[in-house]
Chains A and B, each alone.
Chain A
Amino acid sequence: MSEEKAAPASGTILVVGGGISGLTTALEAAEVGYEVFLVEKNPYLGGRVAQLNQYFPKLCPPTCGLEINFRRIKDNPKIQVLTMAEVERVEGKPGDYTVAVKVHPRYVNENCTCCGACAEACRTEIPSEFDFGMKTVKAAYLPFAMAFPARYVIDPRILGTEDAARVKEACRYDAVDLEMQPKSLRLNVGAVVWATGWVPYDAKKIDNLGFGRHKNILTNMMMERLAALNGPTAGAIVRPSDGKPPASVAFVQCAGSRDENHLAYCSYICCMASLKQATYVREKCPEAEIYIFYIDLRAPGYRYERFYDRIKQDPRVHFIKGKVAKVSEDPKTGDLTVVAENAVTGEKIEQTVGLVVLATGMQPTASVHKPPAAVRTTPEGFILNAPEAGLFAAGCAAKPADVVSSNQNATGMALKAIQTVVRR
């Protein structure tokens, strides 16, 4: 065959998104010797996983695994991490892409020691996005205790105010640089892996479930933050309305998933997430009764099945086959009444509980921010691999997935990217 196998113009791999999938792809590729750019739009790496309290089914803290990955990145000169950075354009062909990246100013340079003096000096408080607005943080903040890069961020909203001056004044290491400007970079890479992940589906859109109208309704991701020791309540599961532990909790499965009016597909992880969160409630509010309302419970694989079996043994966890379609609030007590039909007995159930957790699903980030490249997506916004181009999708950018499958998939995508840059 006379097919030409010209050496690629660039042997570098771009990974877009620094969540668990992006970290994995970047590390797997770098550790076999390829140059990698890892671009992350947040000021920290770790993505959604960083927000979790525990992994299922082992119930271990994700920070443990993240820390190992951060260590690997620190030690690996082949990975260049760009945080607060967004890919603006990808042009070219496999082996030779030109990528425009915009890096937003952090206003804190590498001198930062995380001493926290800037935050102490700052008086402005902003809602914490990391904690889904359940608490406020200072406008000079460390995104979370384990954040990598371990460096403070200054919110641009205080620029030009007295607070900005106070923050600069407070820093003894000359780390605050209020003159920092956005930077535009041009990267030359051979392949791109999109690991742009997911956003929690906006629960306000499921208007019959009352999220946003009633205080004591949380999403499952908010529940993760609530249960986390570094979360807004230092790990106490309490009701937003009165700060008291709930006497009972209802989990509403398929809140917006498997629903053609919202997300038509199964988000894969919500059943396991609710089973896991039931263990949070059992641990932190041992007296609370737990009601899990479901269409069908999906616990794929023997490990998850075993986990489900274990939770089923718990006499305080009640499973009701029937989707919650109505939620109302008693304005005096803040208690909520969820309504479902038990499809096994054919009775309508009106269960009054202290706290409701909506098991909201995963919406691909790419459906909100279309990748600025010639990638194809499913109608739902999941990115399809385009091996003929050098463009791939890893983890939840490709399909709803748990961390294990995301990592397996991300490893595979590292290989796909390597194949593209070596032209084999």
Chain B
Amino acid sequence: MTERLVVEPDLDFIREVGILGGEDLKKCYQCATCSVVCPISPQNKPFPRKEMIAASWGLKERLVQSADPWLCHNCGDCNTRCPRQAKPGDVLAAIRARAVEEYAAPRALARAMNTPAMLPVLLLVPAVYLVVMGFLMEKIFGARFLNFSPEGAIVHAKMVSTWLVDVVMLSAAAFAVAVFARGVSRFLGDIHRNALAEGKTAKEAIDSAGFLQALLRTIPVILRHAKFNECTENRARAVSHMLVLLSFIGLFIVTSIFFVAIYVFQQHGPYSQLNPVKWLANVSGVALIVGSILLIRQRLAKPDQKSVYKDWLLLGLVLGLGVTGMGAQLTRLAGWAGVSYAVYFIHLMLVWFTFAYLPFSKLAHLVYRTVAMAYAEYAERR
């Protein structure tokens, strides 16, 4: 208790946490009910009580550079039991959103993702990019990659060639991977330093082999939603979330298989509905739609949970991906050429949006939470 702490509050940070959904933060009176009722909070330095005081003191580094906010699955048990309705779960969600911004480069893009007014611009970028790339490739290779008046049987590749789709999507994915690589390496270093400083781990340094093993042990935990399922208040959400995650994985597998089919075996789509890969695609597509609708309904049904722009943007995007994906296929089968091409085009835009902006959006939790959970496993934080 002789340790002296000079608090240098980052007032902007406090304000940002408020905007990102943590506006009731200052109601907290530090009773620590939240840390006790949280089913997944560790024994040593549990969250979110300490995050609540650090946030109201504006101690940004202690929060955005900590793994703890990412260990929270926002199940809401703390919100329900909080005697002051300070909504610790929502404060942690806001801190996570702020941390995504912190580790993203360029930062301006991350801020734009949290600014509703920027949405039209962000949506327009993939359309412009696709058209410009189509134009450039036509100039370079002398072939047509874009045709806005395709004729005959509906084949989406007639409008946007598979080559062009892959160039546009892979470049977006490569960008996301690069941003994540930089972000995660900084993040991992920061959360380890934070854990050492706060006495949350006995491990002096991160050894790569040990960390990788911890990561491998963590992945089944994530796939089973084992932590998510420990929540009581919001357990129903774990099922919907699992549907969405598994459908994304399913669609990733489908895309990879078709990628190989095209470039290795020269088999172009559309593929037969009897193809088992197609079954996986359709099951995943339906699961994506159902899961995201359930998540939206669950959020609407919980007025004690703060839902802000970042939350609706992600849910809207996921639903949009599912609806346009299935929609493009169904309208193709129905023979509605104009509609089908238009819906397909929107679908492409949303896919690009998802890929390119992944490290800047709430969806970045896919990476940061995985890393934080793997680190907690490595650091033996229980």
Chain A residues with CB under 8 Å of chain B are 208, 254, 258-262, 295-296, 322-326, 339-344, 346-348
Contact = CB atoms under 8 A, between A and B. Distances in A.
A325 B84 contact: no
A201 to B, nearest CB: 13
Given A254-B31, A295-B29, A343 B36 contact: no
B255 interface: no
B273 interface: no
Interface in B3-39: 29-33, 35-37
Contacts of B278: none
Contacts of B35: 341, 348
Contacts of A258: 29, 31, 83
Interface string B39-68: 001111110011000000000000000000
Contacts of B42: 348
A339 B37 CA distance: 9
B37 A341 contact: no
Contacts of A324: 36
A259 B29 CA distance: 11
Given A295-B30, A322-B31, A347-B43, A340 B36 contact: yes
A323 B37 contact: no
B278 to A, nearest CB: 50
B81 A341 contact: no
Contact of A259 (B30, B46, B49, B83): B83
A339 B81 contact: no
B32 A340 contact: yes
A341 B49 contact: yes
A244 B55 CA distance: 47
A344 B85 CA distance: 22
Contacts of B43: 347-348
A339 B36 contact: yes
B83 A261 contact: yes
Given A323-B31, A348-B42, 8 more contacts: A208-B37, A322-B31, A326-B36, A339-B36, A343-B30, A343-B32, A346-B46, A347-B45
Contacts of A342: 32
Interface bin, chain B: 20 to 34
A368 B251 CA distance: 58
A393 B81 CA distance: 33
A251 B32 CA distance: 16
Nearest to A256: B83
20 contacts: A258-B31, A262-B83, A295-B31, A322-B32, A323-B31, A323-B32, A323-B33, A323-B36, A325-B32, A325-B37, A325-B81, A339-B36, A341-B46, A343-B31, A346-B46, A346-B50, A347-B43, A347-B44, A348-B41, A348-B43
A326 B35 CA distance: 11
Contacts, number: 63
Q: Which among B31, B44, B45 has the greatest number of chain A C-beta atoms within 10 A? A: B31
Give the 10 A-B residue pairs with the shortest CB-CB distance, closest first: A259-B83, A325-B36, A341-B32, A323-B31, A341-B35, A325-B33, A295-B31, A322-B32, A346-B45, A348-B43
Given A259-B83, A260-B83, A348 B44 contact: yes
A322 to B, nearest CB: 5
Nearest to A339: B36
Contact of A261 (B29, B81, B198): B81
B83 A348 contact: no
B50 A208 contact: no
A328 to B, nearest CB: 12
Nearest to A262: B83
Question: How would you classify the secondary structure of chain B's contact residues: helix, strand, loop or mixed?
Answer: loop
Interface of B: 1, 29-33, 35-37, 41-46, 49-50, 81, 83-85, 198
Contacts of A261: 81, 83
Contacts of B31: 254, 258, 295, 322-323, 343
Nearest to B198: A346
A346 B44 CA distance: 7
A312 B45 CA distance: 26
Q: Most A CB atoms within 10 A — which of B42, B49, B83, B198? A: B83
B84 A348 contact: no
Contacts of B45: 346-347
Given A340-B36, A343-B32, A260 B85 contact: yes
Contacts of A343: 30-32, 49
A340 to B, nearest CB: 6
Contact of B46 (A254, A260, A295, A348): A348
Contacts of A326: 36-37
Contacts of A323: 31-33, 36, 83
A325 B33 CA distance: 5
A352 B322 CA distance: 52
Nearest to B50: A346
A203 to B, nearest CB: 15
Contacts of A325: 32-33, 36-37, 81
Nearest to A260: B85
A296 B31 CA distance: 8
B22 to A, nearest CB: 18
A9 B112 CA distance: 75
A342 B36 CA distance: 10
A260 B33 CA distance: 13
A258 B49 CA distance: 17
A10 B31 CA distance: 52
B36 A341 contact: yes
A262 B80 CA distance: 12
A262 B46 CA distance: 25
Contacts of B37: 208, 325-326
B52 to A, nearest CB: 10
Contact of A208 (B1, B81, B85): B81
A134 to B, nearest CB: 29
B306 to A, nearest CB: 16
A209 to B, nearest CB: 11
Nearest to B83: A259
Contacts of B32: 322-323, 325, 340-343
A325 B49 CA distance: 13
A339 B81 CA distance: 14
A326 B44 CA distance: 17
A144 B175 CA distance: 81
A287 to B, nearest CB: 28
Nearest to A264: B83
Nearest to B37: A325
Nearest to A343: B32
B145 to A, nearest CB: 59
A320 B37 CA distance: 17
Contacts of B83: 254, 258-262, 323
Contacts of B30: 295, 343
A340 B31 CA distance: 9
Nearest to A254: B31
B66 to A, nearest CB: 13
Nearest to A324: B36
Contacts of A339: 36
